[in-house]
Amino acid sequence: MRRTLFLELLRQQFTVALIPIVLIGGVAYQILFPRLTEELRQNRQTLALSVGEQVEARLASSEDHLKLIALDIINNPNAASLANRLDAFVQVSDIFEAIYVTGMDGKIDHIGLPIADISTRRLFQDMDVSFTALSAEQQPLEPGRYYWSNVFISPISGQQSVALFTAIGTSHLIAEIDLRELPSLSQRLSRGEIMVLLLDDKATLIAHPDMDISQQQFSLGYASLFTENMASLRTGTFIWNSIEQFATVVPLAATRWQVVVSQPLTSFNATIQYLTVIWLLLASATFVITAFIAYRTAVRESKPITELQAMTEAVSQGNYDVPRIETHIDEFESVSNAFIAMASQIQSRERELNDLNTALEGRVAERTAELMSINEALTNSVLRLETTMEQLVQSEKLASLGSLVAGIAHELNTPIGNAKIAVTSQQDYIRDVRQDLEQGRLTKSLLDQFMEDIDSTADMALRNMNRASDLIRSFKQVAVDQTSSNLRTFNLATVINEVLVTLRPTLKRSPVHVETQVPANIDMHSLPGSVSQVLTNLINNAVHHGLSDNHKSLTINISADLKDDLVLLTVRDNGIGMPAENIKRAFDPFFTTKMGQGGSGLGLNIVHRMVRGMLKGNIELTSREGQGTTFVMTLPRDVTGQLSATQANVMMNHHG
């Protein structure tokens, strides 16, 4: 009797598949679910131990810092400089809020504070801290060992704090820890509903993911989980904000603190329920797989499969005239008919593909010719862009020179105006004396006064004209250097001073102070114009980008050092710095963070091109946000040793 394949397979699936489903369900209920629950608890313990290790590593770094401070005090017991050294340790550390040394009487002998609190140092000098909870932790202290306190109210800041302390001779070295760092650590380690807490050995809260809660000095001593068996790893429940929590507690041996990793008990149970659903899905998948296997094994007619395989091989070899399969199963007969129709379609599509391949070859040839034409056009465009780039660089250099001209012109107004006033005054004095002489009123006292006035105004005119002459001479040398490529021998300190003189009109309008530390004995045989342009661009870049609403003053330090035949030229500022993503692009052309605000994006690119190209040196940039920017240039003292013979001859002839 003929029947459909679906009805035949449906009967076998229910017969074969139900047996393994029942077996899997029984095994899961009796063995796997309890084991999964235990594994989940073990995973929570593993997570808690990992968190404990991270907290101990963070605290160990604090101990390492304090060991360095203790070693410094032991090696250099000079009491006069101790407070300043402690200040320096506090200011460079992101861990300590204050560091102080107390005597056996519990009074503060020396204290280090942050910059903002140094003015209050005298308020804490000789302060008696023996009454604080911290003092109870200090007695007795074993030399060379470091101790952690419980939570206490700081006598320095008046805020909740913890301390790390040790003994140095008859004194105690105490470092108060910034508790804001510990809640931040708790917040980073917490994930989703999993909450990481830090308690002291009295179950007082030290750190919570919420900074406000961390500062309220909560006590969890009501829960026996935190007050019993404190030396061992343990699990249990406690109430937090009216919610029952499942927690794993890890003791920290070095500090006697406790790390708590918890999550709502309902969430923990939900995880078990989720695993149950997963197992049900796996059971269902097992049912489907078993049914499929039953289907494959239930097929009793191997002949249709063999014939279908033969048809497939024939079609794969290009023989599309395949016979129809003779079978008593409707589905196989339908497959056979469909396969024959498919073979016919493949044969038709193959003919179409051959025609398309022929047409495609022609189109490929056409597109190849078009692409060659486009490539040639792109090459020409690149050449034009390079030319435009060079023109923009020259325009930027001339614009910089134009800015110098405007500044120098403005700066010359004052000395020239003063000289004019002095000369005009001299004319008035001479006219008055001539009148007195003609009228016979000229006396020795009037003549003496006239000579004194003439000397005074002449000295004033001479000083102002000398100042104008210095400005013009410096500008003339810088302008000639920057607009030419003359190769000559020059003194580096002199060139730097000339650049600063020409930039003085611009710099004095800004809250900028420039310091130089350049030895007077560094002579170079190079391109002073390029050196001037590089320094001008770096100083202008610092002024333009180093100031902000929160950073209203700027100090630029220019230093140089001689190492063998290399000159190390450093330009450093204490401005706002730049983020890491901007450092990678700082020397790219047209990259600027001040687009539309006066920034062209070519200043540092010109610096890079000149240092690496014309000056045959190297330049390195380092910067961190809020900590300023540093450019270090390594330049050959004699650039002719780095130039090709042709380049050197051209520059020497041009110089001549």
- Report the CATH number that the domain containing residue 250 is assigned in CATH: 3.30.450.20
User: What is the extent of the structural domain holding 591?
Assistant: 485-655
pLDDT confidence tier of residue 406, bands split at 50, 70 and 90? low
How does the average pLDDT of the chain come out, rounded?
Answer: 78
Of the ranges 46-55, 467-476, 487-496, the best mean pLDDT one: 487-496
Whether 344 and 320 have beta carbons less than 8 Å apart is answered as yes
pLDDT tops 70 at residue 595: no
Residue 24 lies in a domain: no
| Cross-strand bridge partners of residue 260 | 197, 249
User: Cα–Cα distance between 630 and 436 in angstroms, integer?
Assistant: 67
Q: Report yes or no on 547 lying in a domain.
A: yes
pLDDT (0 to 100) of residue 653: 46
Residue 187 placed within a domain: yes
pLDDT band at 621 (very low <50, low <70, confident <90, very high): very high
* 8 or 399, greater pLDDT: 8
List pLDDT tens digits, range 295-340: 656 655 556 666 676 777 777 767 767 676 666 666 666 777 777 7
Give me the mean pLDDT over the 178-182 stretch. Answer: 71
pLDDT digits (tens, 9 = 90+) for 132-144: 655 545 457 777 8
Q: Where is average pLDDT lowest: 123-127, 375-379, 417-421, 544-548? A: 417-421
User: Mean pLDDT across the stretch 53-66?
Assistant: 81
Task: Read off the pLDDT of each residue in 438-444 and give the average, rounded to a whole number.
Answer: 81
The 10s digit of each residue's pLDDT in 346-356 is 777 777 888 88
**Is the pLDDT confidence value at 187 over 50?**
yes
Cis-peptide, bond into residue 140, ω within 30° of zero: yes
Residue 433's pLDDT is: 81
Tell me the pairing of strands 512-517 and 554-563.
parallel
Give the Cα separation of 337 and 85 in Å (integer).
94
Q: What is the mean pLDDT of the segment spanning 636-643?
A: 80
CATH code: domain of residue 605: 3.30.565.10
Per-residue pLDDT band at 254 (split at 50, 70, 90): confident
From 240, 270, 300, the end of a domain falls on 270
With CA atoms as reference, report the closest residue to 164 among 154, 182, 176, 153: 176
pLDDT, greater one: 537 or 60? 537
Gap between the Cα atoms of 174 and 111, Å rounded: 9
Q: Is residue 635 part of a domain?
A: yes
Mean pLDDT on 510-516: 90
Supply the pLDDT for residue 129: 80
Q: Tell which wins on pLDDT, 269 or 243.
A: 243
Domain count, the chain: 2
Confidence at residue 515, expressed as pLDDT on a 0 to 100 scale: 93
Least Cα distance to 347 among 322, 381, 377, 375 occurs for: 322
pLDDT > 70? residue 14: no
Is residue 322 assigned to a domain?
A: no
Task: Indicate whether 632 pLDDT > 90.
Answer: yes
The string of pLDDT tens digits covering residues 518-559 is 999 999 999 888 898 899 889 988 888 888 777 778 999 999
For residue 117, name the pLDDT band (cuts at 50, 70, 90): confident
Q: Averaged over 31-50, what is the pLDDT? A: 76
593 pLDDT tier (thresholds 50, 70, 90): confident
The answer to whether position 518 is within a domain reads yes
Looking at 270, 288, 311, the residue that finishes a domain is 270
Give the residue from 285, 150, 138, 160 showing the smallest Cα distance to 217. 160
- In 3D space, the residue among 617, 627, 547 whose CA is nearest the CA of residue 580 turns out to be 627
The predicted structure's pLDDT at residue 650: 42
Asked which of 31-40, 294-303, 436-445, 612-621 is least confident by mean pLDDT, the reply is: 294-303
> Which residue type occupies 599?
G
Task: Give the pLDDT of residue 492.
Answer: 93
For 385-404, give one letter per residue: b (16+ CB within 10 A) or e: eeeeeeebbeebbeebbebb
Residue 392 — very low, low, confident or very high, per pLDDT cuts 50/70/90?
low
Q: Could you tell me if residue 468 is inside a domain?
A: no
Give me the pLDDT at residue 648, please. 47
User: For 482-500, what is each residue's pLDDT tens digit?
Assistant: 555 578 899 999 999 988 8
Tell which of 270, 287, 320 closes a domain.
Answer: 270
Q: Does 503 reside within a domain?
A: yes
Q: The tokens of 353 are what?
A: 């593909």
The confidence score (pLDDT) of residue 567 equals 95
